[in-house]
Amino acid sequence: MPDQVDVAKKRIRASYGRYLEDFAVGEIYEHRPGRTITDNDNIQFSLMTMNSHPMHCDANYAAKSEFGRLLVNSGLTLAVVLGMTVNDVSGKAIANLGWKDIRLTAPVFGGDTLYAESEVLEVRPSKSRPTQGIVTTRTRAYNQNDVLIMEFVRMSLVPRRGHGVDDL
C-alpha cells in the first residue's frame, strides 16, 4: 500500500474593497457588471421613497411629456451607480464623508444599462485618525450607448492596511 501524503490545502479569502495604500491618484476602476434598470425598478423605488411624481410612475402622463415615456428616478440612478462602485472604492470604508458636484447629464429610461468608472483624485492620510485616510474619487456613469448620464465626486474614509474590520 503506497504512503498517503497529506497535502495542505491553500485557503484564499475573497477581498472586498481596498485599503488606503491600495489607491493611487490617476487610477481608473471600471466597475462591472453593468446594471439594466427596468420600469418596475423605477416605479418600486419611486413609490417606496414617496416620490410619486407622475414622470416616474404614470406611463400615460409621461407619454405626453417631451420624453414620451417614463423617466428613471434620479435617486435610483444615483443609488445604483454608487452601489456599482462599492467593491472597488468603499468596500473597506469606515464611512462616506460626502458627495459633491453631482451632475445628471442625460435622461435614463427603463431598459437602459448603466456602466460606471471611478478615477482616484486624491489619497491622503487623515489628520485626526492616524490609522485611516481619505480617498476622493470622481465617478462617471454611462448608458449602453456610451452617453454620459451622471458624474459625482465622493470622499470616503478608508482604513490603512492592518486597521480594517477584516484585520481585527
Enter the DSSP assignment of 89: I
Residue in the block written with cell 462617471: 140
Q: What is the pLDDT of residue 63?
A: 97
Specify the number of domains making up the chain: 1
Answer yes or no: are the C-beta atoms of 121 and 137 closer than 8 Å.
yes
Range of the domain at 124: 20-167
**How confident is the model over 5-63, as pLDDT tens digits?**
666 788 777 778 999 999 999 999 999 999 999 999 999 999 999 999 999 999 999 99
Please give the residue that has the higher pLDDT: either 76 or 12. Answer: 76
For the record, the C-alpha cell of 96 comes out as 462616506
Examine residue 5 and state whether it is found in any structural domain, yes or no. Answer: no
CATH number at residue 77: 3.10.129.10
Examine residue 108 and state whether it is found in any structural domain, yes or no. Answer: yes
Q: What is the Cα–Cα distance from 72 to 116, expressed in whole angstroms?
A: 17
For the record, the C-alpha cell of 59 comes out as 406611463
Secondary structure (3-state) at 52: coil
Q: What is the pTM of this model?
A: 0.88
**How confident is the model over 126-137, as pLDDT tens digits?**
999 999 999 999
Examine residue 91 and state whether it is found in any structural domain, yes or no. Answer: yes
Q: What is the pLDDT of residue 1?
A: 56
Q: What is the Cα–Cα distance from 80 to 73, expressed in whole angstroms?
A: 11
Secondary structure (3-state) at 28: strand
